[in-house]
Amino acid sequence: MQQASFNMIDNEIKAGEAFSKQSFVFDKLNAENKVSQYMRTIFRQEVSAHAKPQSIILELNCGTGLDAIYFAEHGHFVLATDISQGMLQQLDKKISEQNLHGKIITQHSSFHDIDKIQNKKFDHIISNFGGLNCTNDLQDVLLKFSPLLQDGGKITLMIMPKICLWEIAALLKGNFKTAFRRFKNGTPANVEGIQFLCYYYNPSYVIKTLKKEFEVLSLRGVCIFAPPEAHKHFAERFPKLFSFLCKVDKAIGKKFPFTYCCDHYVITLKKKL
């Protein structure tokens, strides 16, 4: 147990270091990637559809605060947390520049330490872009949610499952490593020259872990036939086809098996009264 705990913490620290190095260019990368913007729009629409007015939101892996600022500007209050000091420094600059004091508060925190947040109850907990895939013990994080939420509080998470059709398609080129990488118990990721591990969780994992205290409100696959974030050049080269594939995804995204066979899925759950 001690060794497993050490590995979990060590992996998070490495991920934090990697994204701290990337924090200086993160916003530029996001702005240049049409797929990133498409995914972020879906996530924001999902949260907005379920969030009550003036919600108090706890955001995990907030990055440079692109979503935190969006929700603050739409009347919500956000406690933005991240393991990356560099990301939080970028967000703190924005808070000062855009006079968002009182609307967004930042806190350096691991997913696994959110239970240490004192004297605060939230209306909504959110996590975007597969940040939760950086932990090998997602159950530990999920089980910390209920005490932090008001009765009827909600969770909206974007997570990467084990099956991505675009990666499975790599079999056509004989690339078995890419096709089946999500089935490994810890897949190496490399950001800014720093390697850490990613772990993949199907919607059933989240639902089973939380079923005693939460009910599912919505589940949708994201980037099913539309290309994943890494294929930004596809969206640039074939804008009409990309737009068509996004429409196809919207039409089928809430249907099984496409809620499981996608690059990411977004799920919203409500705490039972």
- Report pLDDT digits (tens) over 67-82: 999 999 999 999 999 9
3-state secondary structure the chain: CHHHHHHHHHHHHHHHHHHHHHCCCHHHHHHHCHHHHHHHHHHHHHHHHHCCCCCEEEEECCCCCHHHHHHHHCCCEEEEEECCHHHHHHHHHHHHHCCCECCEEEEECCHHHHHHCCCCCEEEEEECCCHHHHCCCHHHHHCCCHHHEEEEEEEEEEECCCECHHHHHHHHHCCHHHHCHHHCCCEEEEECCEEEEECCCCHHHHHHHHCCCEEEEEEEEECCCCCCHHHHHHHHHCHHHHHHHHHHHHHHCCCCCCCCECCEEEEEEEECC
Residue 8's pLDDT band (boundaries 50, 70, 90)? low
Model's pTM, two decimal places? Answer: 0.94
Share of the chain above pLDDT 90, in %: 86
pLDDT tens-digit profile of 237-257?
999 999 999 999 999 999 999
Amino acid at 85: Q
Per-residue pLDDT, 228: 96
The answer on pLDDT for 225 being more than 70 is yes
pLDDT tens-digit profile of 161-198?
999 999 999 999 899 989 999 998 899 999 989 999 99
pLDDT tens-digit profile of 10-32?
888 889 899 999 999 998 999 99
| Structural domains of the chain, ranges and CATH numbers in brackets | 2-160+184-221+264-271 (3.40.50.150)
